[in-house]
Amino acid sequence: MSIVKKAIKPVEVLVIAGKTKRVTVKYPYQEPILSPEFRGSIEINPEKCIGCGACVNACPPNALEMIESQDKKTLRYYVGRCIFCWRCIDVCPVGAIKGTRNFELATNDPLDLYTYIVHSKAECSSCGNKVETVKMRKYIMQKSPITENYVNKCPDCRKKSFINAISTRKVGFHGE
Ligand code: SF4
Ligand code: SF4
């Protein structure tokens, strides 16, 4: 059966409406009816956020952006672009993002639609470049077995040091 044949006829809608009575509320004078699964805007806890950027990579409409400068990384959330999918919540490694049921976003000042979380960057002990945030370094230290010597480098220098370390290691062969 085609979708057109399955579609409900206007007269059937009237019959259903007659049986169920009114199903709307006088919003905004009354609280709107939201389903338990309803998803609204997100909130980011600046204390928990480590500035890793995972949420930025996962955000489909680019409502989350990481703005880079020499010494800072700034996570920007623009709720005007958010589609309330909550993918960012799923990928945040430290649980810094919380979903809310807020959908009322009207404001007289467009700047109210932006949230900023500013992070300081840590310097690489080898090349002096600043790539990761200070909090990201602390997180790597806690979560991985690598030494402080590696952690204090930028990702590129860390990779070079590691390759250098394994390439200078003597490799023995069975039977030699
Ligand atoms: S809820 Fe979805 S659209 Fe909104 S910031 Fe998170 S990932 Fe982006
Ligand atoms: S994923 Fe979480 S910790 Fe990483 S930048 Fe986004 S909010 Fe911050």
Expressed in angstroms and rounded, the spacing between residue 40 Cα and the centre of ligand 1 is: 10
pLDDT at 172: 52
Atom of ligand 2 nearest to the CA of 56: 6
Structure-model confidence comparison of residues 146 and 151, the more confident one: 151
Verify whether ligand 1 is closer than 6 Å to residue 61 (CB atom): yes
User: Mutation test of ligand 1: which of 38, 49, 56, 59 has the most ligand atoms closer than 8 Å to its C-beta?
Assistant: 59
How far is the C-alpha of 118 from the C-alpha of 91, rounded, in Å? 20
Q: Could you tell me if 42 and 85 are in contact, meaning their C-beta atoms sit under 8 angstroms apart? A: no
Which among 156, 169, 146, 147 is positioned nearest to 126, based on CA atoms?
156
Give the domain ranges of the chain: 37-166
pLDDT tens sequence across 44-93: 999 999 999 999 999 999 999 999 999 999 999 999 999 999 999 999 99
For 146, the token pair is 């690598």
For the chain, what is the radius of gyration of the CA atoms? 26
pLDDT at 94: 98
Expressed in angstroms and rounded, the spacing between residue 100 Cα and the centre of ligand 2 is: 17
Counting residues of the chain whose pLDDT is more than 70, the rounded percentage is 92
Verify whether ligand 1 is closer than 6 Å to residue 59 (CB atom): yes
pTM here?
0.81
Nearest ligand to the C-alpha of residue 100?
A: 1
Angle, CA of 147, 149 and 155, to the nearest 5°: 95
**Considering only the top CATH level, what class is 37-166?**
alpha beta
pLDDT at 112: 97
pLDDT tens sequence across 17-46: 788 777 788 899 998 888 999 999 999 999
Q: What is the mean pLDDT of residues 109-131?
A: 96
72-78 and 42-44 strand pairing:
unpaired
